[in-house]
């Protein structure tokens, strides 16, 4: 079945550092790919998405490019802030599928 593999955390960074969280997927056909973020004590918020190969999703300084050749959707941000401390989830919705399949989540802590 469809699945998502995320790099394991936790990840600890200093403010203004570069962040990358690796995400690879296994799916038949052409899934849609998503990044969700969960801030402490809150629900999941959609961060960005991409629906076809080579699409780049971007939001709040975060970017991810849908790479079909490497089945990847890595999340990047050039300069993180303390407020970016959260758990980040990579997810996919497969072809002919209604549900989201999530990765295990990566906890990111940004120190001032």
User: Given the rule CB under 8 A, which residues bind another protein?
Assistant: 31-32, 34, 36, 42-46, 49, 51, 89, 93-105
For residue 102, give the nearest of 29, 46, 53 by alpha carbon: 46
Toward another protein, which CB reaches closer, 60 or 99? 99
Write down the least CB distance from residue 81 to another protein, Å. 21
Write down the least CB distance from residue 105 to another protein, Å. 7
Toward another protein, which CB reaches closer, 49 or 77? 49
Please tell me the distance from the alpha carbon of residue 86 to that of residue 62, in angstroms, as a whole number.
Answer: 13
Please tell me the distance from the alpha carbon of residue 40 to that of residue 19, in angstroms, as a whole number.
Answer: 19
Helices (H), the chain: none
Write down the least CB distance from residue 32 to another protein, Å. 4
Write down the least CB distance from residue 17 to another protein, Å. 27
Toward another protein, which CB reaches closer, 17 or 59? 59
């Amino acid at each position: 079945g469809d699945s998502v593999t995320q790099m394991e955390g936790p990840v600890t960074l200093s403010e203004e550092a570069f962040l990358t969280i690796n995400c690879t997927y296994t799916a038949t056909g052409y899934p849609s790919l998503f990044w969700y973020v969960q801030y402490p004590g809150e629900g999941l918020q959609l961060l960005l998405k991409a629906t076809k190969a080579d699409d780049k999703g971007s939001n709040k300084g975060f970017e991810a490019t849908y790479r079909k050749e490497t089945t990847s959707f890595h999340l990047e941000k050039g300069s993180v802030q303390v407020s970016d401390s959260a758990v980040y989830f990579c997810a996919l919705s497969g072809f002919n599928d209604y549900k989201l399949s999530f990765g295990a989540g990566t906890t990111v802590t940004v120190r001032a």
